[in-house]
Amino acid sequence: MRYAPSRRCPCPSRHGGTGFPPDTCCAEALCRRRKPHLRWGLPRPRRLSHSGGMCIMAERLWIRAGTLVTPRQSYEDVTLVLHDGLIEDLIPGDRPAPAPGEEVIDAGRGIVGPGFIDLHVHGGGGYDTMDGTPEAIEGLAALHARHGTTSLLPSTIAAPADRIHAALSAVAEAMERPNAGARVLGAHVEGPFLSEEKRGAHAARFVRPPDREKDRWLWEHLPIIRRITLAPELPGALELITELRARGVLVSLGHSTADEELVRRATLAGATHVTHLFNAMSTMQKVGPLRRLGLTEAGMVHDGLSVEVIADGWHVPLSLLRLVVRAKGVERIALITDAMRATGLPDGRYDLGGEEGMAVTVRGGMAVTEEGGLAGSVAGMDQMLRNVARALSLPLPEAWRMASLTPAEILGVAERSGEVAVGKAADLVILDRELEVMATIVDGRPVFRREER
């Protein structure tokens, strides 16, 4: 596979009248003129050259799609042109010929859409975020790229401070390395600020309220922490929500016994999201003659909260997701994997979070702790998409939105990622008609291709 990086244009004097600075490359000027929407019927971009000083645009990757999926609708027979990590053009109908030497992926009847964005993933392929090495982060990112994920947040668990520090350091280092898998957007801190009663697969001895003296790791790694899950009922949690939100961190409510009033106070403090709806959280309780909503119901009825669901069929009955879609709409629901180390591996004995974490048995697609609870999933984002598309009979663009644009909007990266549009990141997945992954493309570069069957 050939993919040539762009070269600086050596002919700045030739940009007169373009409206761009004289040191702007011809290719950049051409790209910056484009509007970020589907340009049906417009001509393909020209390859520019000048005698004396060649202005050569980088080799492009062309993808011929049987179907193109956007968040709003699908289009048939479209060619995508990728250049410099961005979507440069979308050409309908005809089959334009690329220049000699440019790579072409012919997807046949395949479906091309935005790559999946996983906001909550602990591991996969034998790796766990809590292994505390950049190689582990790269390994799990490579595994999830095989399942169509192009961006993700490696997630921690409740653990001693030094182990969380090591995990976050590994995420930071992996973000600086060239990645052959999904892009690492930053870290998701899940624990230790969780309810002991609703801790799920987190070890009871490590969950606790926030403590600024003990939590120096949090402030040290704040530049790469994109998201945190916490229980708002813990002492100091509401104040922490306000401070983290002011620093640009997505604050999510989860592993919590909070009632609706406390959820309301948490949203006023800055919380905007709910972690794995239905799992490890309070539900409606009868208090005297009245009933009081828990985090589960509050998450569904409060417009200021988005939610995420693990749609593997084990964590939430797929039929119940109909209610969630009706309550929130696909614009406020993100599909996540909450995947653990055993994802992509055979049934057997594993752990969640390393040697100080939970022992887990995986059997028949279900990961279970010794206490009998679920310990995350062993499914990829492609399985989540298949499940919701089939079980809910959703139009494919709506189901796909929950795996791409919605999580991008929740995390605040939709300006760059989450949909197929000119000028946005060339992060794509190609599926066959059974919604199985054929290829995954990150920054305009294939990072996974399925072997021919």
Catalytic residue among 89, 259, 338, 382: 338
**Cα–Cα nearest to 74, from 82, 65, 83:** 65
**Cα–Cα nearest to 117, from 388, 396, 334:** 334
**Cα–Cα nearest to 189, from 234, 222, 152, 157:** 157
Sign of CA dihedral 295, 301, 304, 306: positive
Tokens of 381: 């984002």
H or E element at residue 438? strand 437-442
Calpha distance 231→226 (Å, rounded): 17
Calpha distance 169→446 (Å, rounded): 27
Phi, psi of 141 (to 5 degrees): -65, -35
Q: Contact, 132 vs 162, CB < 8 A?
A: no
Calpha distance 357→194 (Å, rounded): 15
**Cα–Cα nearest to 14, from 27, 30, 26, 2:** 26
Calpha distance 63→66 (Å, rounded): 10
Phi, psi of 349 (to 5 degrees): -100, 130
- DSSP state string for 339-393: B-TTTTS-SEEEEESSTTSEEEEEETTEEEETTS-B--B---HHHHHHHHHHHS-
H or E element at residue 91? strand 86-92
Tokens of 245: 């939100």
Tokens of 246: 């002011």
Is 338 an active-site residue? Answer: yes
Q: Cis before residue 192, ω within 30 degrees of 0?
A: yes
Q: Give SS3 for 140.
A: helix
Active site residues: 338
